[in-house]
Structure formats: structure tokens, C-alpha cells
Amino acid sequence: MLTHASIALHQADRALATLVITERDQLTGSLGAIERRCVTLLALQAPVARDLRVVIAVLRALSHTHRMGNLARHIAVMAQVNHPNPMTCGTVRPALARMSLLASQLAADAATAIEHQDPLSACRLAVPDDELDALLRQLFNTVRGGNWAYGVVPAVDAALLGRYYERFGDHAVAIAQQACYLTTGQLPQPTAAPPASRDALLPP
């Protein structure tokens, strides 16, 4: 979904953006079905030990996956309604393009981590996630700098897009952390909240 949303944004492809929005609705339905299965297992099977960890990990991953779907949809909506969109602003295009690639790869790596139950996967995902954070800071500095010549609305749109990609990556890392929980039973350590001054006007 995120890959399609990013392509729609880069190429101003409204039809592809519409497909992403439809896919988000389908994703929501699938996640709801899985959540109901988990609740049924808890109620009727009373799983213990590792089986219980599997159900808990799935429920946590569902929450993060739902948010990732919403973020992909946000990007698709921007591709639909914003013409010209922020990708026409040459100074932010490279950063946003790199962020889109990193975020999509993080999602694929998180899926692999869960599939193979790799307890070290979250550590490996931390490197590209840190690059996403650095690119977001670079993006903010660009749109707030004295050389920005594209106006207020494109600046806000670019900042929002950067934030969407950055948050998408964070959720992918959180899903990968469930692989560690599955194998070791250790809960992921909470991360520090971002500075309020940076994100006060941006969505979670």
C-alpha cells in the first residue's frame, strides 16, 4: 500500500491513489477478522505460555498494521487532492523519495522478521529507522529555511508527508519487536516521546 501511495504521489496518479484508499478499507476488514479470532482463542482455548505470547504479539501487530494502513491512505489522499503536490518542489523531492523507499523496506523487513521469528530483527531495522529520523529533520530544516520558495501550503504538505513516512517506519520496527517477544518473552522497551516542539501540529 505504501509503495503504491508513494508512486501515486510521485507520478500524480489519482487512479493508483484511489486503489490504495480501497485497499485500506480491505485491510481494516482483514485486521478485524484476525482480531476476532484472537479474542475467540483467548475465550475458548485459554492459551498459556508460548501460545499466549503468539496471541498477544498478533494483537499488538494488528494495532501497528492498522496505523500503517492509515498512514499509507493519508499519502494516497494527498496524491489525489494536492495538485501540484509537494513532490514538484525540487528541494524536498530527494528526501521524500528516499523516505518512501526506506519505509516500504522497513515494512517488508518487519514481515520477514515475524515470519522467521527473528529476535534480532528489531536491532537491524533500527539503522534504516534512524536514517528516516535524520531525513525528517533534514526535511523540516529545508521547509523552514530562508531559501524555501514554494509557499506555506507545500511546506506544510512536505512536512506532513515526512512525518507519515517516519511514523510508518516506527510502526514497522514495533512489529519487528514482536518477533523478539515471541522467542524470548521479553517486552519491548518503550521509546522516548519526540519533542513536543517538533510534532505538536502533526498527526500520531
115-141 pLDDT tens trace: 888 777 777 888 999 999 999 999 999
The three cell numbers of residue 9 are 504521489
How far apart, in whole angstroms, are the C-alpha atoms of residue 108 and residue 113?
A: 9
Query: From the centroid of its chain, how far is CA 195?
Result: 19
Give the per-residue pLDDT at 200: 40
Give the per-residue pLDDT at 96: 93
The neighbour count for residue 153, using CB atoms within 10 Å, is 10
Please give the model's pTM, rounded to 2 decimal places.
0.85
CA angle, 89 then 105 then 87, to 5°: 10
Picking from 70, 61, 60, 80, the residue whose alpha carbon sits closest to that of residue 28 is 70
On whether the CB atoms of residues 75 and 157 are closer than 8 A, the answer is: no
Burial class (CB in 10 A: 0-12, 13-18, 19+), 102: buried
> Considering the chain, what percentage of its residues have pLDDT values greater than 70?
87
pLDDT above 50 (res 65): yes
Picking from 35, 83, 95, 68, the residue whose alpha carbon sits closest to that of residue 168 is 68
Ordered by start, the domain boundaries in the chain are: 2-192
Architecture of the domain spanning 2-192: Up-down Bundle (1.20)
In sequence order, the 6+-apart residues with CB closer than 8 A to the CB of 167 are: 67, 71, 203, 204
Query: Letter for the amino acid at 180?
Result: C
Burial class (CB in 10 A: 0-12, 13-18, 19+), 84: exposed
Give the per-residue pLDDT at 189: 62
